[in-house]
């Protein structure tokens, strides 16, 4: 089932933690992957990329395979200590109208990336350069594993200051409905707490 634009709009208003909980405490990418700038948020359909460690030429290729609003989700073959993404690639991705990038590895040009405003989520900043092997074995839009989560092309990717969650496209409608219910329930609980009730009473733990 494809993710509709309405689903994306509704999901973009929800925290990643709520979506993770609504998905049965699943879908969370490694906690080391965080926004390069704390205000970055991303929500879109995944374009998956698996490249050889220490090489980013397939990320360049993926920018031009993706459609406006897509999010690149990049596996680096567990080779984290490289700056796979920087100023030039953010410029290209902005020109293509992409929604963001999630890299299981490093980025660089951190100050510039924050100023650009293009959402970059990575394991941190790393100045170590990358290679450009045009003949390397790699792929785009095939499933990739990020931590313990398998991400397929077209899956929902949502990122905020807490981290990144991935939800299979076929489950988005159910998870979205559950997440919206959870947000409404939590809003009601907060009002009860503000009214003087205790968390022990609210949750029945007394």
Q: Under a CB-based contact definition with an 8 Å cutoff, are residues 58 and 51 in contact?
A: yes
User: For the chain, how far is it from start to end, CA to CA, in angstroms?
Assistant: 44
Residue 49: strand, helix, or coil: strand
Displacement of CA 143 from its chain's centroid (Å): 15
Instruction: Tell me: is residue 154 an annotated ligand-binding position.
Output: no
Instruction: Tell me: is residue 88 an annotated ligand-binding position.
Output: yes
Instruction: Tell me: is residue 145 an annotated ligand-binding position.
Output: no
User: 46: exposed, middle or buried (C-beta count within 10 Å: 0-12, 13-18, 19+)?
Assistant: buried
Q: Under a CB-based contact definition with an 8 Å cutoff, are residues 121 and 40 in contact?
A: yes
Instruction: Tell me: is residue 89 an annotated ligand-binding position.
Output: yes
Instruction: Tell me: is residue 109 an annotated ligand-binding position.
Output: yes
User: 78: exposed, middle or buried (C-beta count within 10 Å: 0-12, 13-18, 19+)?
Assistant: exposed
Q: Supply angle C-alpha 169, 174, 177, rounded to 5.
A: 125
SS3 labels along 116-180: HCCCEEECCECCCCCECCCCCCCEECCCEEECCEEECCCCEEEEECCEEEEECHHHHHHHHHHHH
Mark the binding-site residues for Mg(2+), compressed into ranges.
109
Mark the binding-site residues for substrate, compressed into ranges.
86-89, 108
Mark the binding-site residues, compressed into ranges.
86-89, 108-109
């Amino acid at each position: 089932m494809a993710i509709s634009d309405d689903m994306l709009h509704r999901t973009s208003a929800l925290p990643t933690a709520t979506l993770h909980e609504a998905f049965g405490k699943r879908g969370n990418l490694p906690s080391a992957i965080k926004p390069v700038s704390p205000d970055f948020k991303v929500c879109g359909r995944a374009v998956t990329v698996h490249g050889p460690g220490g090489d980013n030429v397939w990320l360049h290729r993926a920018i031009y395979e993706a459609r406006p609003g897509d999010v690149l989700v990049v596996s680096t073959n567990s080779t984290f200590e490289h700056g796979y993404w920087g100023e030039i690639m953010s410029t290209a991705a902005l020109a293509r109208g992409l929604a963001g990038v999630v890299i299981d590895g490093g980025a660089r040009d951190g100050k510039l990336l924050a100023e650009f405003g293009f959402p970059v989520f990575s394991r941190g900043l790393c100045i170590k350069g990358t290679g450009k092997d045009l003949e390397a074995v790699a792929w785009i839009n095939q499933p990739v594993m990020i931590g313990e989560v398998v991400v397929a092309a077209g899956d929902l990717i949502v990122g905020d200051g807490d981290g990144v969650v991935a939800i299979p496209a076929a489950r988005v409608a159910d998870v979205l409905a559950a997440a919206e219910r959870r947000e409404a329930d939590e809003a009601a609980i907060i009002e009860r707490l503000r009214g003087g009730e205790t968390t022990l009473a609210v949750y029945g733990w007394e």
